């Protein structure tokens, strides 16, 4: 068989990503890929297997190889573009299931079975920085050169034995920004009236910076009954009590102790965190970390991975395990109501063709600012994507 | 919580609708919203509940409130755009199910639970004139200022005890104009050959005006058997007979008595009516009133509400009740054949991208003229709709 | 009833088709309609019935009439555009199921039941040259004037009693060009590793011309077991053996006898043929003829009709019948893997928006040249199609 002259093995270069910020319509904000994102649960990728995921429509194969460990590469064979993830994990690489081309963990094509031994073609595929933590597989979908300098989202409670962790794994058919607004706006307890009863929310204030906003709330019940699940999640420690005297307050604050029951929600682009402290405690009773990433290119579907860390009761920690089913039932109920309403919001956006939301609540106005000023444009097609092969990108730029 | 300065409560103004007429392609005719349209059956909206309907893609919430009666408002919360119809009917208004904003029957936002008492924002939603009649809920989707002067479609037979009424409630996936053509062109009996046998249709003539056309037919059976259902619907009264002599004819006509069996079909934009008289009678044996309205923005789905009024036999009126199941069976059969063929017409239109129909029958040529000269353009999106909030419309006009 | 003046009966003229060749993207190649294509199996069209098929989105009614035999016409009534194929086959023609317009096998409208006898309108529909062979119905979808001069795809083995024939009838949701590449590239045995074991393919060379390419292969098994089905399909005749000596080789070749086991695959636009000879034989053990045609206008769905001719063993021909179920099982398995991977290729193309394939194998490079240089552009809509009525085409050209 005659061969073409094939060139040295070098990975596809990655052009700099579009500039951040100033997205005119929040629902057309593209999530900035230059962050660490959990794209799957560890248990989703068995040894010797691959799994297909997408980040904003970019197909990524997560591969767990005996020899090469866990790695992430573009999920397409450089030859005929079928997903590598349907191929065979073998000898530290992955073989395409169609003609058997093989790629290693750097995305280099290392073998074509029907070619004589020769230098292979430069058209390797992209590899993604990848690490495993908290039972999740984190990938850096953006510019790999930045991966080391971009902070990894640390979630200490998820590794703290005083907490029990529930990993959230949910898909909602809406733009990810709706999720940030949903959790941040605690006035939406009205949505959960059947599960939570009549809750009056009090907005206590907000703090903010370029890429973050943090909002404090307190609550009181006006009617209805607290569900068991909710009670277990935010149980008051035995000694919990509000600290009302000014001196005691100052002292408590100096020690980092909350002087009243308080909920703080923080969007720090692109992550979101909710913590709830009972009065008199230093560590939150509930510490929830969430990330919502776009699955599809149009960013109208998002996948949530979350770590819901619930503090075990001081001496009877096992009780949390006993009541865990109530926690699961309660959070599933809340989540399904949130999913329902957020998908209705997306449907309205789709019908209206642009963001008509009329927001009057300052906390949400800040969240919107954080999102629109830290995001990137949505890329209309794969064509302009950095994952396109060189000759395609060259054509697109010409 | 800090508030924006909020302005006086005034409803969204409604700009004049697009000019009527001269639609170049009948399948791209938008039904003129400046008429009274039945958008639901009365029984579809229970007390204390709301129901979502759409007119040409515009979402409308029909609300039945103990305190405020039946009302119709735009089916979106001015805040986050989710349908109000999934909210809670309460104290003469409807509360959004997400954050609890409340709107009254005029579309004004009257309460936001987490705002202090203050004048609310002008961004109220649209309210629609609405009335209930014949077991149907009629809405005026166009310019509310015209609602009082536009005639309501009176259908006396539906309230006449000599008639038994069947309410038609049907959805077909085709442009509403196909429905007018289908009923008007009685040559399509060929479609119903299995249910009706071989019917020869005779076109007797047409009369027409700017917004209407009326066509007369007679029929005779060339073969096959009349079904029981058909027989019951257009039973000949005992004394029915054709009046053939010129003098007797003139006298009968002067009294409004038909001199032969006759069917008259009238499209009077936007409604359609079919009446069948047996010879020698003054009142029709069958009096059918129909309205087809577009459900979706593209107007490729229509909903029919109809009132099929069948005269009870003179002395044995109860017999109509006895044979009613045969009527239902027969009309359902006819309707499912019409649905099937009209959806095939729509599919052909979709594939062809424009109206290729080659009409040679004068009655249908007139119907097409009535429709194209009385309709409005289809609005491509909600954006240009009068239901968009002011700031969106301002942007669209700029 | 008054009539329009109606003109003489003449069929819609057929403008010359777009020029062939030079398609820049193989997946946007339109199959040239100026060939004979099998569009259905004979048994699919019962006597007195019609069947709807499409060629690249053009609807065609195949009609089997007692009086007029088998014929093919455009599948739309010239009146209201509904498919004629849902009508009634009667007296050598087909009657539209809606208003009963009747068309003959030339596409002329010969009767409108509610018109007096008169010359009919010129708006006849297109008729297609049509013939039946090998249990398949062949249609010439292009310019009818060329039908006689374009060679019919002869497949002698399908009528040779020494062969048993399996008719393939398969639909795959991908562009037809993927099918040619799939069969031509025998290196894709890796895909069938579970069914065929480890096969090493040897590319022996290729021959080519303007509209064809022919490639030779040999194989040897590196591991795994040959399935029974495969064994039956390409059984070695008792006397089969490789001929290795130069003199014997020359003599064998002069007689048309193969000197070794060999597979030859030939794409001769638009058909494809695969033959397998065992050493020492003159006639192939397996002779497979395939045609893939686009079903939809976008040409992203293809239908395969194939004739898989398997030579019966010399004296125990009945054994092929005995083992036929194994052949069926094996070919179905192979086919479902091919379907799966080709649909993944189409999905990648759809996501990428253009052909990113990076082909290095000379045989496939040639197939791609044959396809792109012999195809026509895909017609974006019916509008520009020759099947549109005259007034529509006139408008499109203006």
Element (H or E) spanning B323, and its range? Answer: helix B318-352
Residue B6 pLDDT > 70: no
CA A364, CA A371: separation in Å to the nearest integer?
Answer: 10
Taking Cα atoms as reference points, which of B256, B272, B264, B157 lies closest to residue B212? B272
Residue A179 pLDDT > 90: yes
pLDDT of residue A249: 84
Q: Do B57 and A185 touch (CB under 8 A)?
A: no
- Domain boundaries along the sequence of chain B: 36-138, 156-377
Nearest to C113 among B190, B348, B362 (CB): B190
Rounded-to-10 torsion of CA A11, A13, A19, A21: -10
Q: Do C357 and A381 touch (CB under 8 A)?
A: no
Spell out which chain A residues touch chain B, with contact meaning CB-CB distance below 8 angstroms: 185, 187-188, 190-191, 201, 203, 341, 344-345, 348-349, 351-354, 356-362
**Alpha carbon of C223: minimum distance to chain A alpha carbons (Å):** 15
Classify A254 as helix, strand or coil.
helix
- Which of C80, C102, C113, C384 to mutate to probe the B interface, most B CBs <10 Å? C80
Percent of chain A with pLDDT over 90: 65
DSSP 8-state class, residue C240: -
Residue B397 pLDDT > 80: no
Q: Do A360 and B3 touch (CB under 8 A)?
A: yes
Q: Do C99 and B341 touch (CB under 8 A)?
A: no
User: Interface pTM (ipTM) of the complex?
Assistant: 0.88
pLDDT of residue A9: 34
**Which residues of chain B have a CB within 8 Å of the CB of A358?**
78-79, 121, 123, 389
- In a 10 Å sphere around its CB, with 0-12 CB exposed, 13-18 middle and 19+ buried, how is residue B123 labelled? buried
Lowest mean pLDDT among B236-245, C32-41, C181-190, C206-215: B236-245
Spell out which chain C residues touch chain A, with contact meaning CB-CB distance below 8 angstroms: 185, 187-188, 190-191, 201, 203, 341, 344-345, 348-349, 351-354, 356-362
**Which residues of chain B have a CB within 8 Å of the CB of A341?**
82, 97-98
Rounded-to-10 torsion of CA A114, A119, A122, A127: 80
What's the CATH architecture for A156-377? Alpha-Beta Complex (3.90)
**Nearest-Cα residue of chain A relative to residue B391:** A356
Question: Which residues does residue B70 pair with via DSSP β-bridges, in sequence order?
Answer: B64
pLDDT of residue A5: 33
Residue A387 pLDDT > 80: no
Residue B71 pLDDT > 90: yes
CA B129, CA B138: separation in Å to the nearest integer?
Answer: 8
Number of H helices, E strands in chain C: 7, 20
**Which residues of chain B have a CB within 8 Å of the CB of A356?**
81, 388-389, 392
Q: Do B98 and A351 touch (CB under 8 A)?
A: no
Q: Do B201 and C114 touch (CB under 8 A)?
A: yes
pLDDT of residue C391: 56
Residue B285 pLDDT > 90: yes
Cβ–Cβ < 8 Å for B208, B259: no
Nearest to A382 among C352, C359, C360 (CB): C352
- In a 10 Å sphere around its CB, with 0-12 CB exposed, 13-18 middle and 19+ buried, how is residue A219 labelled? middle
Cβ–Cβ < 8 Å for B30, B57: no
Nearest to B362 among C2, C59, C95 (CB): C2
pLDDT of residue C8: 33
- Which of A215, A337, A348 to mutate to probe the B interface, most B CBs <10 Å? A348
Handedness of CA B192, B195, B201, B205 (dihedral sign): negative
Nearest to C191 among A98, A113, A297 (CB): A98
Taking Cα atoms as reference points, which of A142, A61, A166 lies closest to residue A105? A61
Mean pLDDT across A50-75: 97
Q: Do A1 and C362 touch (CB under 8 A)?
A: yes
Query: Domain spanning B36-138 has what CATH number?
Result: 2.102.10.10
Residue B237 pLDDT > 60: no
Q: Do B82 and A345 touch (CB under 8 A)?
A: yes
Percent of chain B with pLDDT over 70: 86
Could you write out the DSSP letters of every residue in C320-338? HHHHHHHHHHHHHHHHHHH
Query: Domain spanning A26-151 has what CATH number?
Result: 2.102.10.10
- Which of A54, A81, A298 to mutate to probe the C interface, most C CBs <10 Å? A81
**CA B212 to the chain's CA centroid:** 16
pLDDT band at C383 (very low <50, low <70, confident <90, very high): low
pLDDT of residue B180: 98
CA C13, CA A229: separation in Å to the nearest integer?
Answer: 75
Classify C228 as helix, strand or coil.
helix
Q: Which CATH class is domain C42-135?
A: mainly beta
pLDDT of residue A193: 92
Element (H or E) spanning B368, and its range? Answer: helix B362-374
Q: Do B113 and A190 touch (CB under 8 A)?
A: yes
- Which of A203, A352, A355, A363 to mutate to probe the B interface, most B CBs <10 Å? A352
pLDDT of residue B7: 34
**Alpha carbon of B182: minimum distance to chain A alpha carbons (Å):** 31
Q: Do B358 and C389 touch (CB under 8 A)?
A: yes
**Nearest-Cα residue of chain C relative to residue B201:** C114
Residue C4 pLDDT > 50: no
CA A42, CA A136: separation in Å to the nearest integer?
Answer: 5
- Select, from the ranges A167-176, B225-234, C109-118, the one with the highest average predicted confidence (pLDDT): A167-176
**Which residues of chain B have a CB within 8 Å of the CB of C79?**
357-360
**Nearest-Cα residue of chain B relative to residue C4:** B360
Cβ–Cβ < 8 Å for B182, B342: yes
Question: Which residues does residue B265 pair with via DSSP β-bridges, in sequence order?
Answer: B215, B274
Nearest to A81 among C188, C201, C356 (CB): C356
**Alpha carbon of B241: minimum distance to chain A alpha carbons (Å):** 58
**CA B187 to the chain's CA centroid:** 24
DSSP 8-state class, residue B283: S
**Alpha carbon of A272: minimum distance to chain B alpha carbons (Å):** 21
Region of residue C73 (phi > 0: left; psi between -120 and 50: alpha; otherwise: beta): beta
Could you write out the DSSP letters of every residue in B42-56? GGGS-TT-EEEEEET
Element (H or E) spanning B373, and its range? Answer: helix B362-374
Q: Which residues, including other chains, have CB under 8 Å from residue A312's CB and lie 6 or more apart?
A: A162, A163, A164, A318, A319, A320
**Which residues of chain C have a CB within 8 Å of the CB of A297?**
351
Nearest to C79 among B352, B354, B358 (CB): B358
Q: What is the end-to-end Cα distance of chain B in Å, rounded?
A: 35
Question: Which residues does residue C350 pair with via DSSP β-bridges, in sequence order?
Answer: none
Q: Do B353 and C381 touch (CB under 8 A)?
A: yes
Q: Do C345 and A3 touch (CB under 8 A)?
A: no
Cα angle: A31, vertex A33, A39; to 5 degrees: 90
Mean pLDDT across B207-231: 88
**Nearest-Cα residue of chain A relative to residue B387:** A352
pLDDT band at C221 (very low <50, low <70, confident <90, very high): confident
pLDDT of residue B114: 85
Residue A315 pLDDT > 60: yes
pLDDT in tens, C74-102: 999 999 999 999 999 999 999 999 999 99
pLDDT of residue A259: 86
Q: Do A115 and C360 touch (CB under 8 A)?
A: yes
Nearest to C345 among A81, A381, A392 (CB): A81
Number of H helices, E strands in chain A: 7, 20
Mean pLDDT across B152-157: 96
Cβ–Cβ < 8 Å for B52, B75: yes
**Which residues of chain C have a CB within 8 Å of the CB of B336?**
none
What order do you get walking across the sheet with B127-128 strand by strand?
B50-55, B58-65, B69-74, B127-128
Instruction: Supply the pTM of this predicted model.
Output: 0.89
Q: Which chains touch B (3 or more CB pairs under 8 A)?
A: A, C
- Which of A185, A187, A220 to mutate to probe the B interface, most B CBs <10 Å? A187
Long-range contacts of A270-279 (CB under 8 A, 24+ apart): A270/A31, A270/A32, A270/A35, A270/A37, A270/A374, A271/A153, A272/A179, A272/A180, A272/A183, A272/A184, A274/A183, A276/A233, A276/A234, A278/A234, A278/A235, A278/A236, A278/A237, A278/A240, A279/A236, A279/A240, A279/A241, A279/A242, A279/A243
Mean pLDDT across A139-149: 95
pLDDT of residue A161: 94
Q: Which chains touch C (3 or more CB pairs under 8 A)?
A: A, B
**Which residues of chain A have a CB within 8 Å of the CB of B392?**
352, 354, 356
Classify C137 as helix, strand or coil.
strand
Spell out which chain A residues touch chain C, with contact meaning CB-CB distance below 8 angstroms: 1-4, 6, 57, 59, 76, 78-83, 86, 95, 97-100, 112-115, 121, 123, 297, 381-383, 388-389, 392
Mean pLDDT across B21-25: 83
Lowest mean pLDDT among A194-203, B376-385, C264-273: B376-385
- Which of B360, B361, B364 to mutate to probe the C interface, most C CBs <10 Å? B360
Q: Which two tokens stand for residue B243?
A: 């009046």
Taking Cα atoms as reference points, which of C302, C300, C299, C277 lies closest to residue C288? C277
Residue C135 pLDDT > 50: yes
pLDDT of residue B387: 55
pLDDT of residue C95: 97
């Amino acid at each position: 068989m005659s061969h073409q002259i094939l060139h040295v093995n070098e990975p596809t270069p990655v052009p700099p990503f579009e500039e951040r910020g100033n997205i005119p319509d929040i629902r057309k904000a593209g999530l900035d890929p230059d962050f660490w994102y959990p794209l799957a649960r560890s248990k989703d990728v068995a040894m010797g297997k691959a799994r297909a995921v997408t980040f904003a429509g970019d197909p990524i194969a997560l591969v767990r190889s005996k020899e090469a460990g866990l790695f992430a590469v573009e999920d397409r064979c450089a030859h005929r573009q079928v997903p590598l993830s349907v191929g065979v994990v073998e000898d530290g690489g992955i073989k395409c299931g169609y003609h058997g081309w093989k790629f290693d963990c750097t995305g280099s094509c290392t073998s074509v079975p029907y070619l004589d031994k020769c230098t292979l073609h430069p058209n390797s595929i992209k590899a993604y920085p990848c690490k495993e933590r908290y039972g999740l597989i984190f990938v850096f979908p953006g510019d790999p050169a930045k991966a080391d300098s971009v902070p990894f989202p640390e979630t200490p409670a998820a590794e703290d034995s005083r907490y029990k962790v529930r990993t959230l794994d949910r898909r909602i058919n809406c733009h990810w920004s709706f999720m940030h607004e949903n959790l941040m706006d605690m006035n939406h307890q009205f949505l959960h009236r059947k599960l939570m009863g009549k809750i009056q929310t009090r907005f206590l204030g907000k703090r903010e910076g370029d890429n973050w906003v943090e909002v404090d709330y307190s609550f009181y019940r006006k009617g209805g009954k607290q569900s068991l699940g909710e009670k277990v999640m935010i149980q008051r420690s035995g000694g919990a009590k509000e600290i009302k005297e000014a001196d005691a307050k100052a002292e408590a604050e100096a020690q980092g102790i909350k002087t009243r029951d308080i909920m703080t929600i923080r969007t720090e682009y692109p992550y979101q965190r909710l913590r709830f402290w009972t009065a008199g405690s230093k560590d939150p009773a509930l510490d929830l970390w969430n990330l919502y990433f776009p699955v599809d290119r149009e960013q109208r579907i998002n996948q949530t991975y979350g770590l819901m860390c619930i503090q075990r009761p001081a001496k009877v920690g096992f009780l949390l395990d006993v009541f865990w089913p109530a926690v699961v039932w309660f959070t599933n109920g809340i989540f399904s109501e949130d999913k329902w309403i957020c998908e209705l919001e997306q449907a309205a956006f789709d019908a209206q063709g642009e963001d008509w939301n009329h927001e009057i609540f300052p906390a949400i106005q800040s969240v919107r600012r954080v999102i629109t000023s830290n995001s990137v444009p949505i890329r209309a097609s794969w064509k302009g994507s950095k994952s396109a092969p060189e000759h395609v990108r060259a054509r697109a730029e010409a």
